[in-house]
Amino acid sequence: MAASIRCARRCRLQAGVSMDFARTASRISCSAKHINHQGASESSAWYSLASIPGALVGIVPIGLFAAALLYFHWQAQEHERQRSQMETVRLLAAAVDNSLDSTVERLSIFARLWSSSSLSEQMVHAQAKEALGANADWSSIVAFDTNGRGVFRTDAPFGPPVQANARIDVWQPVFTERRPVISDVLLDATNGAQHVAVGVPVLREGRVAYVLIAQLKLGWYDRLMTQQGQPDGAVAGLVDRNFKFVARSSEGEERRGADPTLQWVADLSLRPEGIARYTNLNGTAVYTAWTFTRHGWAVGFGTPSAPVDNAFWDHLLVLGLVWAAAVAIGMVHAFSKARVIAASLESLEAQAEHVATGRRIEGLPDSHVAEVNAGKIVYIAGQVALDRAGNLVGKDDFRAQVQQVFENLKSAVEAAGGDFNSVVKLNYFCAESVDPSQITVVREIRDKYVNTSNPPVSTFVVVKRLVRPELLIEVEAVAVVKK
């Protein structure tokens, strides 16, 4: 009677499974026909093309972010370069002011000695020649009276008439205001050369009797323009209040008294200091910084723009090439993943057609309904790849961990008085980090322990991770052992 009931239950179960299988096969058959209508090649191509936007979505923002970082880095470097260039031009301006102040002070000392003595003009001429030898930045010393009559010149012997000063107007503040005067670039009437002079008053009986003038060695100021050190191609220049070149670190003699570029002159008229990009007199693009001295002259310091500009574009080119390579790699990777997906779809189509005919899908593990007639049910908790001492076996080795898990299951069921033939159900919990291609290892090792002609029913679940991250699989079992 009991056997008949079990038989009837088994028949009803098989009938239900058959009906469910038929309905499922019918639905899959419809799906297979629809998929076949589209075509396997069309699905593969569609997934390959659809993968491109996904690859670009991640790469394009990274490229734009890197470009923004490059731009801000270049801006920071450019700010530092401008700061350094402005600091250099201010140091040059300070050096010019110190030199002019020193000339005024030295010349004033000589003028006071002349004022306080009763020496003749001839004796003062002799002392002026001695003073000229002690001052390396002076080219000559000249004296005029209030009428512009030449008293003496150190570059000429005393006695013969000295040519009257045609630019006596330049020195009028010396007579009227009793203060030193620094001229702009003047043309020397005696030799036709461009020069700059410093004049101070010589007092006699409380009034200005003479103007004592020191003509400056402008070649000395040419060399002064190079004192701060200059990169290759850099040029420093000094212009007077009329924006005529007084000195220049290169081509100083040739450019003396000439005009700078019109654009720079226009900016000098508008701002006391600044930095901008110009084309200099040699036709070279330069970044020029400028500032004014306390005496009204302007100092400019220009560095070639090519190294600065080219560095930015070179870095941008490298970034573009790297980004293009990243895009290419991303597209190749996307295509490779798409091919795997397309292959899976093609396999699904084939399996759907196979199931629609009523045949089982090959390669899948057998499914069973386990029926327990008698015996003691034993529930074995999930086993992991730990040995008897609690040490992990097979770190990062899926096969070794599966082997240890089944050894632990074998020991557990034997401890309960059974063997692997007593196991009626296995539940697998596999970490998602395991490569799907290794899943076949589970069946391979399981078959060494179970009766392959009548294996236990099983459930295979993929989980995010197990209780310890180094564990790759956990298996729990249900066994029925004889009482």
Report how far residue 109's alpha carbon sits from residue 174's, in angstroms, rounded to the nearest whole number. 15
The reply to whether 42 falls in a domain is no
At residue 336, the pLDDT reads: 73
Give CA separation, 225 vs 38, 219, 246, 251, 477, in Å. 81, 10, 11, 12, 92
Q: Of 51-60, 228-237, 313-322, 326-335, which range is least confident?
A: 51-60
Report how far residue 268's alpha carbon sits from residue 260's, in angstroms, rounded to the nearest whole number. 11
Which tokens go with 75?
């801006």
For residues 170 and 236, state if they share a domain.
Answer: no
Of residues 186 and 81, more confidence is placed in: 186
Helices marked H in 236-305: 252-255, 262-270
The distance in angstroms from the start CA to the end CA of the chain is 23
Of residues 28 and 463, more confidence is placed in: 463
For residues 89 and 235, state if they share a domain.
Answer: yes
Residue 374 three-state SS: coil
Give CA separation, 381 vs 37, 125, 131, 303, 385, in Å. 49, 119, 110, 79, 13
If you average pLDDT over residues 145-169, what whole number do you get? 81
Residue 307 pLDDT greater than 60, yes or no: yes
For residues 252 and 213, state if they share a domain.
Answer: no
Report the sign of the C-alpha dihedral through residues 151, 157, 159, 164, in that order.
negative
Residue 403: CA count within 13 A, CB half-sphere: 7
For residues 164 and 270, state if they share a domain.
Answer: no
Element (H, E) at 35: helix 2-38
Write the DSSP assignment of 416-482 as a string of letters.
TT--GGGEEEEEEEEETTS-GGGTHHHHHHHTTTS-TTSPPEEEEEEES--SSTT--EEEEEEEEE-
Confidence of residue 384 (pLDDT cuts 50, 70, 90): very high
Report how far residue 214's alpha carbon sits from residue 332's, in angstroms, rounded to the nearest whole number. 79
Domain holding 197: CATH number? 3.30.450.20
How many other C-beta atoms lie within 10 A of the C-beta of residue 468? Answer: 10
Task: Give the number of domains in the chain.
Answer: 3
Report how far residue 342's alpha carbon sits from residue 454's, in angstroms, rounded to the nearest whole number. 36
Domain holding 464: CATH number? 3.30.1330.40
For residues 197 and 232, state if they share a domain.
Answer: no
At residue 418, the pLDDT reads: 92
- The parent domain of residue 135 ranges over 99-219
The reply to whether 452 falls in a domain is yes
The reply to whether 314 falls in a domain is no
Confidence of residue 25 (pLDDT cuts 50, 70, 90): very low
If you average pLDDT over residues 30-52, what whole number do you get? 48
At residue 201, the pLDDT reads: 95
Give CA separation, 336 vs 41, 55, 343, in Å. 15, 12, 11
Report how far residue 168's alpha carbon sits from residue 152's, in angstroms, rounded to the nearest whole number. 15
The pLDDT mean for the chain works out to 80
Q: Give helix 2-38 / helix 306-356 axis angle, nearest 10°.
A: 130
If you average pLDDT over residues 370-384, what whole number do you get? 86
Q: Which residue has the tokens 């390669």?
A: 363
Confidence of residue 347 (pLDDT cuts 50, 70, 90): low
Residue 27 pLDDT greater than 60, yes or no: no
The reply to whether 8 falls in a domain is no
Q: Which residue has the tokens 């069973």?
A: 368
Residue 5 pLDDT greater than 70, yes or no: no
| Amino acid identity, position 416 | A
For residues 177 and 242, state if they share a domain.
Answer: no
Q: Which residue has the tokens 């923004």?
A: 68
For residues 195 and 288, state if they share a domain.
Answer: no
The reply to whether 258 falls in a domain is yes
The reply to whether 418 falls in a domain is yes
Confidence of residue 276 (pLDDT cuts 50, 70, 90): very high
The reply to whether 60 falls in a domain is no
If you average pLDDT over residues 93-107, what whole number do you get? 94
By C-alpha distance, which of 280, 286, 290, 288 is closest to 255? Answer: 280
Residue 309 pLDDT greater than 80, yes or no: no
For residues 270 and 408, state if they share a domain.
Answer: no
> In the listed set 188, 219, 250, which residue is the last one of a domain according to the structure?
219
> In the listed set 197, 219, 241, which residue is the last one of a domain according to the structure?
219
Return the biggest CA–CA distance within the chain: 159
> pLDDT tens digits, residue range 205-240?
889 989 999 999 999 999 998 876 667 778 999 999
For residues 206 and 131, state if they share a domain.
Answer: yes
Residue 13 pLDDT greater than 70, yes or no: no
Residue 183 pLDDT greater than 60, yes or no: yes
The reply to whether 371 falls in a domain is yes
At residue 228, the pLDDT reads: 65
For residues 89 and 112, state if they share a domain.
Answer: no
For residues 379 and 474, state if they share a domain.
Answer: yes
Residues 6+ apart with CB under 8 A from 428: 442, 458, 459, 460, 461, 473, 474, 475
* Best mean pLDDT range from 168-177, 219-228, 272-281, 460-469: 460-469
Confidence of residue 372 (pLDDT cuts 50, 70, 90): confident
> In the listed set 286, 302, 318, which residue is the last one of a domain according to the structure?
302
Q: Of 40-44, 107-111, 186-190, 436-440, which range is least confident?
A: 40-44
Residue 153 three-state SS: strand
For residues 382 and 482, state if they share a domain.
Answer: yes
